[in-house]
Structure formats: C-alpha cells, structure tokens
Chain A
C-alpha cells in the first residue's frame, strides 16, 4: 500500500520567505510526527499529533515554526521568515497506535535549502 508521502521533495527558497511543507500519512494512522534531520545525523523530534490534536511541540526550534493537522490526516509544517540555518531535511512519520503497534513509518522527506 501507499506509504507516507511528502511534498515538495525539494524546496529552495530565499531567506525571509515563508515555506509550507506537506505530509500525507498512511491512511488510518493516528499519530503523525515531524522530524528534522541534518546530514550525517539521526532525525531530531520537532512535534507530534494524535488525530488533529498537537500533543507536543517542544522540539520546534522557535516561534517561526508551526504545524497543523486540521482534519487529523494531512499535516503542514510552516516555517516563517526562513533563515539559512533552517536548511535541512524535514521528515514526517506516522504510526497506527493500536494494540501496541507504535512503529513509525517515515516519509522520503523534504530537502529545504534557504539561500
């Protein structure tokens, strides 16, 4: 079946612009997670949703970062007034969370480059 999808796969933007990254989780998955991954490093937690409720946003670096999942399915991670330090791979994952199945399935990521 279809896995987690993310769009765009690559985004180049100028410093100061806003960007919106989209995540389409596996159908029926309760939880959705956003991570940021620097080259050569493991993913770093940003935020997490159960259905449409944002449960934890403690990993968001600052208030320029926000995320939403209004209908409990697709999620958008928005970065306002982008800075060069925001350049990274942004990954989304989803998990079923039923009967102890917490395995997170990762998407292919969006490579963000801020020039």
Chain B
C-alpha cells in the first residue's frame, strides 16, 4: 500500500497513553474545523469536527480543542490503541458561513502507537 507518512511530523506513544496532536491553522475567518484520520492506503476518515462558537468538543475517546486567539487546534486521543496509528490531518473551511465544502488541509502528523 501507499505510505502517507513521508516527511511528516511524527508522534510516537505507548499503547494506553494519551496522545495530543497539534495543528496551527492559517485563516482567521475559518469557522469550521475537522480532524481526519488516514491509514496507509486508505482515504481520510472523519473523526470529529468543531465550530468556531465552541472551544471544546468531545467524542468517543477523542477531544478537540480550539483556541481562536492563537489559531490553534488540537486533537486528544485517550488510551491510545495500536489501531489509532495513522496520519492525522486537521482541516479548516476558510469561513464560508459554516459550510465546509472547500476544506484546506494541514500538513498532517504521523501517529505511531507502540504495543
């Protein structure tokens, strides 16, 4: 399969630890943000989203934090599992009134979970 992990920031964690993946976005007008997970050889898979009127949103084992002041987004994964190993991308919508059609993706972070 293809590798999407070349020349990417990497994060290596032990199974069971918590992971934090960070993303700096560029457009202060963006009002919708998404985290995607991409496993090798597959397309990006939606994890969680957040709108700019929130600063925190929780899902199953994942939490997204948004700091609009410094244009920073983070993804926290609790009790990281080997199946979480993948490249993680943040994406922003550039501020189109909440529609998300034209997403701009960040560079991605490769998460490796060691058993």
Q: Could you list which residues of chain A lie within 8 angstroms of chain B, going by C-beta atoms?
A: 4, 31, 33, 39-45, 48, 55-56, 58-59, 89, 91, 93, 95, 102-109, 111
Contacts and interface: CB of A to CB of B under 8 A. Distances in A.
Interface size class of B (residues with CB under 8 A): 20 to 34
B7 A40 contact: yes
Interface string B72-115: 00000000000000000101000000011111111110000000
B6 A45 contact: no
Contacts of A40: 4-8, 108
Most A Cβ at <10 Å: residue of B36, B102, B108:
B102
A97 B105 CA distance: 20
B28 interface: no
A104 B103 contact: yes
Nearest to B42: A108
Given A40-B6, A41-B107, A111-B2, A103 B101 contact: no
Nearest to B48: A103
